[in-house]
Amino acid sequence: MESAAPAPLPPDPPGQPLLEGRVDLKGMEEGDLAALCQAMGEPPYRGRQLFGWIYARGEADFERMTDLPKAFRARLEGRARVGALLPERAEEAGDGTQKFAFRLAGGALVESVKIPMRPGGGRPRWALCLSTQAGCAMGCAFCLTGRMGLVRNLSAGEIAEQFLAARRTLPEGERFHNVVFMGMGEPLDNFEPSAAAARLLTHPRAGGVSARRLTVSTVGVASRLAAFARAAPGVGLAVSLHAADEATRGSLVPVNRKWGLKALLDACREIPLAERRRLTFEYVLLAGVNDSPEDARRLAGLLRGIRCKVNLIPWNPFPGAPFERPSPARVEAFRAELLRAGLTATVRQTKGLDIRAACGQLADEARLGGPPLPRAGARA
């Protein structure tokens, strides 16, 4: 009887190879793979072939890469590997949203979320929310992930592999229509791996998404905004504001103490935007905190002259947080003020609330301590 294939090793964590002497190819860009092949005495186009197998086809077994010479495959086996992740846990919400928990090398856990969007009630168009760090150092008051603190950064391979692992669960012939770096972590606090992963997933031969369909969300690391736009060209940026005055934003978003609203918005004006592209501003609405018509009018004034749209996010609750979710009428009144001011404003549809998969709810609950957080309606 044939023995079962060994479980794949996860991608290497940043700067810590799991297997000495064997380089992990997951996370390497096409040029890096071409250089590796040249160093092994092969023509550079072998790197393009490897790139296609790893990312477009999601293959981790060199023996199945059948357009590579057999002798080269054998040498790769001795010198390299392709890291892969298997979900430790998967939950499904009543609305079809799925949350995956991945155990990384070293024991850290990250979550990503696969979201069915049904415009017009037809077949779903899939979206995917990826994490760039285990935990987060930003400490936003309304975010459960921030209560973990920062556990560690993810490598480009670990970020990209979340996409590949989720893609393996898609129905035959379907793809992700949108990908967002909006899960656990602050992408600009993990700059190089996040930018490399964005380039990988938007590469035309990777089978990922177009740059127009990938959005990176940042709490507002003002000094790195323009640099990230240059490092991952064409990728969308979503900047989290969450308040229209310094005092309120400072109480909600600690990074505001380093880069206040003026510094942040000045940096936003310096972001190189392609023609017909807009910057997105995200705004979590908290009842009685930042959701008044006056707040909306102040926000509209701050954004005057910036080519942008505003994505309003009614707060997603978790136990122990000192906030409440505003009523739908309150949300719509806030949006109406923005529309009156000439801004484009949308309200994010809440998905996966019953399994804590909505915006701001991702966390390794074991690191938070206390009993497991309650859920309703989840399917394992």
What is the rounded CA–CA span in Å between residue 339 and residue 154?
38
H or E stretch covering 33: helix 30-39
For the chain, give the longest Cα–Cα distance: 72
72 band by pLDDT with thresholds 50, 70 and 90: very high
Q: Let me know if residue 266 belongs to a domain.
A: yes
Decide which of 81, 102, 119 is a domain's last residue: 81
Question: Do 146 and 185 contact (CB within 8 A), yes or no?
Answer: no
Decide which of 31, 63, 81 is a domain's last residue: 81
Q: Let me know if residue 148 belongs to a domain.
A: yes
Q: For 249-291, how does the pLDDT look when each residue is reduced to its tens digit (9 = 90+)?
A: 999 999 999 999 999 999 999 998 888 899 999 999 999 999 9
- SS3 percent helix, strand, coil of the chain, rounded to 5, is 35, 20, 45
Query: Is the same domain home to 257 and 284?
Result: yes
What mean pLDDT do residues 32-50 have?
97
User: How is residue 56 annotated by DSSP?
Assistant: I
Measured N-to-C along each axis, helices 328-340 and 293-302 cross at an angle, to the nearest 10 degrees, of 40
> Total structural domains in the chain?
2
The dihedral built from the CA positions of residue 190, 193, 199 and 205, taken in this order, carries a sign that is negative
User: How is residue 379 annotated by DSSP?
Assistant: B
What is the rounded CA–CA span in Å between residue 252 and residue 334?
19
- Identify whether 20 is a catalytic site residue: no
Domain encompassing residue 37: 23-81
Query: Is the same domain home to 123 and 59?
Result: no
pLDDT at 327 over 80: yes
Query: Is the same domain home to 340 and 256?
Result: yes
Phi-psi region of 139 (alpha: psi -120 to 50; beta: other; left: phi over 0): left
What pLDDT is attached to residue 5? 53
Query: Is the same domain home to 38 and 77?
Result: yes
Alpha helix ranges (H) inside the chain: 30-39, 45-51, 70-79, 156-167, 191-201, 225-231, 246-252, 261-269, 293-302, 328-340, 365-368
Burial profile 149-187: b = 16 or more Cβ within 10 angstroms, e = fewer:
ebbbbbbbbbbbbbbbbbbeeeeeeeebebbbbbbbbbb
- Identify whether 63 is a catalytic site residue: no
pTM score: 0.94
Question: Do 9 and 19 contact (CB within 8 A), yes or no?
Answer: yes
Of the candidates 91, 111, 282, 337, the residue annotated as catalytic is 111
Question: Do 161 and 8 contact (CB within 8 A), yes or no?
Answer: no
CB neighbours of residue 371 within 10 Å: 8
Query: Is the same domain home to 258 and 172?
Result: yes
2 band by pLDDT with thresholds 50, 70 and 90: very low
Query: Is the same domain home to 170 and 197?
Result: yes
Query: Is the same domain home to 65 and 91?
Result: no
End-to-end Cα separation, the chain, in angstroms: 32
What is the rounded CA–CA span in Å between residue 94 and residue 343?
33
Question: Do 118 and 101 contact (CB within 8 A), yes or no?
Answer: no
pLDDT at 56 over 60: yes
Q: Let me know if residue 119 belongs to a domain.
A: yes
Q: Let me know if residue 260 belongs to a domain.
A: yes
Q: Let me know if residue 12 belongs to a domain.
A: no
**CATH (domain of 332):** 3.20.20.70
What pLDDT is attached to residue 15? 87
**CATH (domain of 48):** 1.10.150.530
What pLDDT is attached to residue 26? 97
Q: What 3-state class would DSSP assign to 338?
A: helix
Alpha helix ranges (H) inside 156-302: 156-167, 191-201, 225-231, 246-252, 261-269, 293-302
Query: Is the same domain home to 113 and 196?
Result: yes
